Copies of this chain bind each other. A is one copy, B any other.
Amino acid sequence: MRLYAYWRSSASWRVRIALQLKGLDVTIVPVNLLHSEQKGEGHRARSPLGQVPVLELADGTQLTQSLAIVQWLDATHPEPPLVPVEPLAKARAWALAEVVNAGIQPLQNLSVLGAIDAMGGDRKEWGRQVIRDGLVGLQRLAEPHAGSFLVGDTVSVADLCLVPQLYNARRFGVALDDLSLLTEVEARCAALPAFQAAHPDRQPDATASRT
C-alpha cells in the first residue's frame, strides 16, 4: 500500500497512526501542500477534492478522507480495533473524532487561512480562536467517559484526531493550561511506539522550516 500524505497534515497523521497501530507497512509518497501539489491534475486523479491523505491499495483502489480510511482499516484489519464495537462507546468515540475532523480542523486548514488573509483578517487570531473553542468543547464532551485515553482505557479514533490537533494548537499559540485531560491523554499517546513513528518529524518530507 501507498499513502499519499504531507508530513504536517492532520488528516495524513491520523491515518499514519492507524496504520502503525495495525502494524501495516506502507510506502509514504509525499504531496507538498505548500507547493499546491495536491491541487495539480496528478493528485486530483487520486483525490477529486485535491486533498491528502489518499490510501492506495495493492490493486490500485484509492481511498480518501481520513475517517473513511480508518473505517476501512478497522473492517479489514480488526486488531486492535480503533472504533469501539459497543454502540454507545462507538457513538462517543465518533462524536469526539468529528468535533476535531468537522468542527475544528476544517476551519484552520491552509486553504481557509489563505482566504482569511485575502479578506484582510488575522489568520493567526482566527486559528487560535477556532482551535481554542473546539478544544474546550472537546474536553467537556470527553470528561464523563475518559480514562487513560479519550474513551476509556484503550486508544480509539478519537485519540488519533486529538494528537495532531494539539500539535496545531501549539503552532497557533493556543492556551492549553486548563485542558489537562487532553494533554494528559496526548502524553500517554506520545509514549506509544505507533504514535512516535507517525509523528511529522519522522516523515520523509519533514523539513526544519516553519510554515
CB distance from A154 to the nearest CB of B (A): 18
A49 touches B99 (CB 8 A): yes
CA distance A72 to B91 in the complex (A): 6
Interface residues of A in 128-181 (CB under 8 A from B): 133-134, 136-138, 140-141
Interface residues of A in 30-56 (CB under 8 A from B): 48-51
CA distance A49 to B126 in the complex (A): 17
- A interface, CB within 8 angstroms of B: 48-51, 61, 63-65, 67-69, 71-72, 75-76, 87-88, 90-92, 94-95, 97-99, 101-103, 105-107, 112, 115-116, 119-121, 126, 133-134, 136-138, 140-141
User: 7 pairs across A/B with beta carbons < 8 Å?
Assistant: A49-B141, A69-B91, A75-B90, A102-B106, A103-B106, A119-B121, A121-B121
